[in-house]
């Protein structure tokens, strides 16, 4: 007991540091996981603001845990430091598909699917949080300068895999020069 | 602190500071490990052996929830878009293992599209020569009354030889070790998204082991 009383300041310092390390590591976790995921995808793409059309998941796939073998995943790491990025897809296949946006902290801040996209596709600009110049068309504001566009396309018929795969390759991502 | 001479006293202080840094850092990281990385997703609800989280794919409100989602549900969609159920046990509560053969029985859940997929302990698809990773709404063979029985087993065995093409369609290949199942509902009926704990989901029955 006397040892405790004698060392209370050291014990308090240890607990304070533990609390600070705990809070910092919890807050950094999403950012680090997302940064690693984006780095992996961007390295496969070779560049930013470019859509990569991943192959159909198999037992050899190691990109993201628990991939669905019934979906085709296309992804694009965007970087808004040079201005808005345009995401567009027309002529998408007549099956379930969705375009979802995730910020640098993993938040899913936007999603649109085939039924909501009445024109059979999508066309919008991702703009940086600080964007104030009005832009034409649909605009989605990203909370962070970097993030991920993920396009899921459902293989609803094994006989049409090739056609579905070809059609989902219409989904694209590029730096906007308006 | 007793005074034992300046050198020894300073030495002790340095050792104590180092101890504070090491122990404090380890305690902090351990707390993060237990609260975020270990265990399962927050906001969990279950429907028989099937578990899901009300928070998957949500724009999380708070650093803990966001960290847990990043670890356990990275890049997941929200509940209106897709509901992800996971089963690590059969309907009797016994852990799923590739050493046993299972029958997944039920009828189509109220959703635009569904699939059931098996994953190994590493959370990746289980290697198998036939590439039978999942059974879905389009590939499942139903009986006249609309119900289906899907076999999950290491070897096709009865699933393929016992019957015709219909039974062959209803087979998910397993490895030898522990596994889990994902049940995905795409664009589920609004009632399912509102209350994912009370949906008529398939049962998972252990048929035999070894």
Residues B25 and B105 in one domain: no
Residues B34 and B53 in one domain: no
Residues B173 and B82 in one domain: yes
Interface A-B, measured as beta-carbon pairs within 8 A, has a size of 154
Q: What are the φ and ψ backbone dihedral angles of A34, each rounded to 5 degrees? A: -70, -40
pLDDT band for B63, please (50, 70, 90 cuts).
Answer: confident
Residues B31 and B55 in one domain: no
Task: Suggest the residue from A6, A18, A40, A77 to mutate for an interface test with chain B (most B CBs closer than 10 A).
Answer: A18
Residues B32 and B66 in one domain: no
Say which residues have a Cβ less than 8 Å from residue B39's Cβ, sequence separation at least 6.
none
Measure CB to CB from residue A10 to each of B20, B58, B119 and give the nearest one.
B20
Instruction: Give residue B163's pLDDT.
Output: 45
Number of domains into which chain B is organized = 2
B17 min Cα distance to partner chain A (Å): 8
Can you give the pTM of this predicted structure? 0.87
Q: Which domain holds residue B8?
A: 1-38
Residues B30 and B93 in one domain: no
**Closest Cα in chain A to B68:** A30
Residues B34 and B55 in one domain: no
Tell me which DSSP letter residue A174 carries: E
Residues B83 and B125 in one domain: yes
Residues B165 and B198 in one domain: yes
User: Which secondary structure element, helix H or strand E, spans residue B165, and what is its range?
Assistant: helix B165-169
Residues B2 and B103 in one domain: no
Contact A168, A53 (CB under 8 A): yes
* CATH label of the domain that carries residue B76: 2.60.120.600
- Kindly state whether A63 is in contact with chain B, defined as any CB-CB distance less than 8 angstroms: no
Residues B14 and B53 in one domain: no
Contact B148, B114 (CB under 8 A): no
CATH superfamily for A1-178 is Domain of unknown function DUF1254 (2.60.40.1610)
Q: Which residue has the tokens 């059931």?
A: B116
Of all residues in chain B, what percent carry a pLDDT higher than 90? 57
Contact B96, B87 (CB under 8 A): yes
Residues B88 and B66 in one domain: yes
Beta strand ranges found along chain B (DSSP E): 44-47, 50-53, 82-87, 100-106, 111-120, 134-136, 148-153, 171-173, 179-188, 203-209
Taking CA atoms, B21 is separated from A14, A122, B10, in Å, by 7, 52, 17
Instruction: Give residue A100's pLDDT.
Output: 96
pLDDT band for B38, please (50, 70, 90 cuts).
Answer: confident
Chain B residues with CB under 8 Å of A15 CB are 24, 27
Distance of alpha carbon B34 from alpha carbon B139, whole angstroms: 40
Instruction: Give residue B161's pLDDT.
Output: 45
ipTM: 0.84
- Kindly state whether A19 is in contact with chain B, defined as any CB-CB distance less than 8 angstroms: yes
**Closest Cα in chain A to B186:** A96
pLDDT (mean) for B36-53: 79
**Which A residues in the span 123-162 are in contact with B, Cβ-Cβ below 8 Å?**
148, 150, 152, 154, 156-158
Instruction: Give residue B148's pLDDT.
Output: 95
Q: Which of B113, B117, B118, B106 is nearest to B137 (CA)?
A: B113
Task: Suggest the residue from B37, B56, B70, B122 to mutate for an interface test with chain A (most A CBs closer than 10 A).
Answer: B70
Instruction: Give residue B18's pLDDT.
Output: 94
Sheet containing A138-141, strands listed edge to edge, beginning at the edge strand earlier in sequence: A138-141, A122-127, A85-89, A172-175
pLDDT band for B158, please (50, 70, 90 cuts).
Answer: low
Distance of alpha carbon B100 from alpha carbon A166, whole angstroms: 40
């Amino acid at each position: 007991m006397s040892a405790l009383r004698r060392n209370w300041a050291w014990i308090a310092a240890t607990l304070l540091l533990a609390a600070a390390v705990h809070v910092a590591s919890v807050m950094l976790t999403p950012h680090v996981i997302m940064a690693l995921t984006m780095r992996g995808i961007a390295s496969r793409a070779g560049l930013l603001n470019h859509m990569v059309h991943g192959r159909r998941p198999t037992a050899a796939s190691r990109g993201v845990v628990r991939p669905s073998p019934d979906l085709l995943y296309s992804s694009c790491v965007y970087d808004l430091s040079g201005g808005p990025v345009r995401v567009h897809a027309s002529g998408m296949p007549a099956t379930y598909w969705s375009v979802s946006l995730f910020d640098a902290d993993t938040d899913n801040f936007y999603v649109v699917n085939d039924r909501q996209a009445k024109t059979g596709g999508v066309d919008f600009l991702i703009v940086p949080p600080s964007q104030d110049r009005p832009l034409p068309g649909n605009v989605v504001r990203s909370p962070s300068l970097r993030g991920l566009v993920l396009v899921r396309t459902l293989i609803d018929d094994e006989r049409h895999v090739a056609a579905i795969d070809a059609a989902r390759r219409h989904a694209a991502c590029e730096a906007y020069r308006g | 602190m007793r005074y034992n001479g300046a050198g020894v006293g300073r030495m002790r202080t340095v050792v104590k500071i180092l101890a504070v840094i090491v122990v404090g850092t380890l305690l902090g990281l351990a707390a993060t490990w237990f609260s975020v990385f270990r265990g399962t997703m927050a906001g969990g609800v279950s429907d028989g052996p099937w578990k899901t989280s009300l928070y998957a794919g949500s724009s999380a409100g708070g650093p803990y929830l966001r960290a847990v989602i990043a670890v356990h549900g990275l890049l997941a969609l929200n509940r209106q878009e897709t509901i992800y159920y996971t089963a690590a046990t059969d309907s009797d509560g016994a852990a799923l293992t590739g050493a046993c053969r299972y029958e997944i029985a039920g009828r189509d859940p109220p959703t635009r599209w569904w699939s059931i997929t098996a994953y190994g302990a590493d959370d990746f698809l289980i290697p198998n020569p036939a590439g039978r990773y999942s059974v879905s709404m389009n590939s499942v063979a139903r009986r006249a009354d609309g119900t289906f029985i899907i076999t999950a087993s290491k070897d096709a065995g009865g699933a393929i030889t016992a019957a015709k093409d219909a039974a062959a369609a209803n087979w998910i290949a397993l490895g030898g070790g522990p596994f889990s199942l994902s049940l995905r509902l795409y664009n589920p009926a609004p009632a399912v998204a509102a209350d994912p704990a009370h949906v008529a989901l398939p049962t998972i029955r252990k048929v035999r082991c070894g």
